[in-house]
Structure 1
């Protein structure tokens, strides 16, 4: 069984330790030592090589968005999920734009956090469903160069474009594999390749770019 390595970055010690203890009971998750600030988060990421970082939006005087930027710059393979007490939609959109793959309120259950961590590790993510439409609308509105999006799409192979269309249709990796008659590993490879070609960090960013360029769900 593959075990996902998880780094929790939160300056609220009681909350962080309680979450770490609860997630540590999941047999497929390895919970690394908790980091309370940016310096510790970056040091642990370099030595412990987490697959997923669960990052508080506010770390005392430090901004979680700044830590997100540093993690994305120095460790681009780490998938970052924001965990926050804030309901600021603008901050959520900013975090997704900067490369976060998920956004969770601190009121979510540990069981749901574990599900989102697993999804993030599989190149998925999570945005609260009731906010997803508005998040996508704001991300699409950010597009200053629609022709640039079309140019990036044109660089995809036909198979990569098929995989992207499936993503726009809302399919997960297993469903894409079934629709296209591919293995899950092949779908993973195509997904990684198309994200790189589209210069995006997450499936949500890729879907947003595709929709800005005119791709629509095939229903």
Structure 2
């Protein structure tokens, strides 16, 4: 597997440098120069070609949401993981709606940060389990059920729809493989295919779209 190129965007220099030094010890992570503001972040995103951006939500007087919007607009394949001291659920939901695939508190250890970066690079993500249910509820409630979602679901093969239902049920890749009698690699392939068909960038986005279109846990 190719090393994962990681761009840290954080204006807290001591924290960012300590995090970069710790993550640089991971053999599969390449840590790019740190960006402390929106302008630098956007410039590095263009020149350094990160696969994952680790983004703080507060950058001095600027908002990390501005970076998120611009990165997702200019570099739609880049995965954004929020790493912040903020605990505001409304901001978390906004970030996910605008394309973030992960949300971590700065109190979390570097081992978890590294795991979430790897998950993001593999088209996964991570939301704190204690707020995941409420985040999904707000995401689903925030947009009415629309025919577009149902139309996209109709493009899935029966097996892809089974995998998506397992995702809605909250199962991880190994659990999906066990339930459906498939290998983990086959589940990964089905997941990548269904995300592409739904034009989604993360499992959380796909689950939200599925629930808007009427899929429910345990169905």
TM-score normalised by the chain length of structure 1: 0.90
Q: Which moved more, 1:18-27 or 1:188-197?
A: 188-197
**Alpha-carbon distance in structure 2 between the residues aligned to 1:54 and 1:126:** 13
* Residue 109 of structure 1: aligned partner: 109
**Alpha-carbon distance in structure 1 between the residues aligned to 2:183 and 2:45:** 31
* Residue 11 of structure 1: aligned partner: 11
Matches within 5 A, 1:95-106: 95-106=95-106
* CA deviation after TM superposition for structure 1 residue 102, in Å: 0.6
* CA deviation after TM superposition for structure 1 residue 23, in Å: 0.9
Matches within 5 A, 1:164-179: 164-179=164-179
Gaps of 5+ in 1: none
* Residue 61 of structure 1: aligned partner: 61
Q: CA RMSD in A?
A: 2.0
**Alpha-carbon distance in structure 2 between the residues aligned to 1:75 and 1:174:** 30
Paired residues, number: 219
Could you say what secondary structure the match of 1:123 adopts? coil
* Residue 46 of structure 2: aligned partner: 46
* CA deviation after TM superposition for structure 1 residue 212, in Å: 2.3
* Residue 208 of structure 1: aligned partner: 208
**Kept in 1: contact 2:53–2:78 (CA 8 A):** yes
Change (3 A) 1:124 1:86: same
Change (3 A) 1:45 1:181: farther
Gaps of 5+ in 2: none
Change (3 A) 1:188 1:74: farther
**Alpha-carbon distance in structure 2 between the residues aligned to 1:75 and 1:190:** 24
**Alpha-carbon distance in structure 1 between the residues aligned to 2:172 and 2:47:** 31
Change (3 A) 1:175 1:199: same
**Kept in 1: contact 2:145–2:213 (CA 8 A):** no
* Residue 157 of structure 1: aligned partner: 157
1:88 aligns with 2:88: yes
Q: Which moved more, 1:130-139 or 1:190-199?
A: 190-199
**Kept in 1: contact 2:145–2:214 (CA 8 A):** no
Matches within 5 A, 1:136-151: 136-151=136-151
